[in-house]
Amino acid sequence: MLQKDSKTYQRVARTIDDFMTLDYTGVGLIGNIYKALQKRQPGFACMGAAEKISDTIKRAGGPVLIATGFPEGGGAPETDGPVGAALLARAFFLGLGVHSVIVIDEDWEEMMIATCRGAGLAPMPFPADGVIKGIDYLRPVFIRTVPKDTEGCKRVSDDLLERTKPSVMISIERPGCNALGLYHGLGGRPLDGLVGDLDYLFYQGKKRGVLHIGIGDGGNELGMGVIAEELPFFSPKAASTGVPGRGGVAAVNAADHLVVSNVSNWGATGVIAALSALLENPIVFHDPELEVRCIECCVNSGGVDGMFMAPEPAVDGINSLEWEGLLRALKATVRRTLGDSVNWQGERGDWRQLK
CA angle 225, 229, 230 (to 5 degrees): 105
Q: What is the DSSP string of 157-206?
A: HHHHHHHH--SEEEEES-B---TTS--B-TTS-B-TTTS--HHHHHHHHH
Residue 82 confidence (pLDDT) above 70: yes
Q: Could you give the angle at which helices 45-60 and 82-96 cross, rounded to 10 degrees?
A: 50
Residue 326 confidence (pLDDT) above 50: yes
Q: What is the DSSP string of 14-72?
A: HHHHHHHTS-SS--S-HHHHHHHHHHHS-S-HHHHHHHHHHHHHHHH---EEEE---B-
Residue 279 confidence (pLDDT) above 70: yes
User: 51-64, pLDDT tens digit by residue?
Assistant: 999 999 999 998 99
In 3D space, the residue among 194, 94, 206, 93 whose CA is nearest the CA of residue 142 turns out to be 93
pLDDT at 355: 43
Poorest-confidence range of 67-76, 282-291, 314-323, 346-355?
346-355
Q: Give the chain's mean pLDDT.
A: 95
Q: Could you give the angle at which helices 288-300 and 320-337 cross, rounded to 10 degrees?
A: 150
Q: Are 271 and 31 in contact (CB under 8 A)?
A: no
Residue 348 confidence (pLDDT) above 90: no
For residue 63, cis peptide bond before it (omega within 30 degrees of 0): yes
Q: Which strand (E) or helix (H) includes residue 290? A: helix 288-300
pLDDT at 7: 92
Q: What is the rounded average pLDDT of the residues 146-156?
A: 97
pLDDT at 352: 56
CA angle 260, 105, 168 (to 5 degrees): 50
pLDDT at 73: 86
Residue 354 confidence (pLDDT) above 60: no
User: 3-51, pLDDT tens digit by residue?
Assistant: 999 999 999 999 999 999 999 999 999 999 999 999 999 999 999 999 9
Q: How far apart are CA 148 and CA 285, in angstroms?
A: 34
Query: Torsion-angle region of residue 52: left (phi > 0), alpha (psi -120 to 50) or beta?
Result: alpha
Antiparallel, parallel or unpaired: β 64-67 and 100-105 = parallel
What domains lie within the chain, and their CATH numbers? 7-350 (3.90.1640.20)
Q: How far apart are CA 259 and CA 216, in angstroms?
A: 7
User: 111-127, pLDDT tens digit by residue?
Assistant: 999 999 999 999 998 99
User: 204-218, pLDDT tens digit by residue?
Assistant: 999 999 999 999 999
Q: How far apart are CA 197 and CA 194, in angstroms?
A: 10
pLDDT at 237: 97
pLDDT at 24: 94
Q: Compare 343 and 316 and report the one with higher pLDDT.
A: 316
User: 158-196, pLDDT tens digit by residue?
Assistant: 999 999 999 999 999 999 999 999 999 999 999 999 999
Residue 342: pLDDT band (50, 70, 90) is confident
In 3D space, the residue among 115, 112, 105, 95 whose CA is nearest the CA of residue 51 turns out to be 95
Residue 285 confidence (pLDDT) above 50: yes
| Neighbouring C-beta atoms of residue 236, cutoff 10 Å | 15
Query: Count H helices, E strands: the chain?
Result: 10, 11
Proportion of the chain above pLDDT 70, given as a percent: 97
pLDDT at 178: 98
pLDDT at 351: 54
Residue 282 confidence (pLDDT) above 60: yes
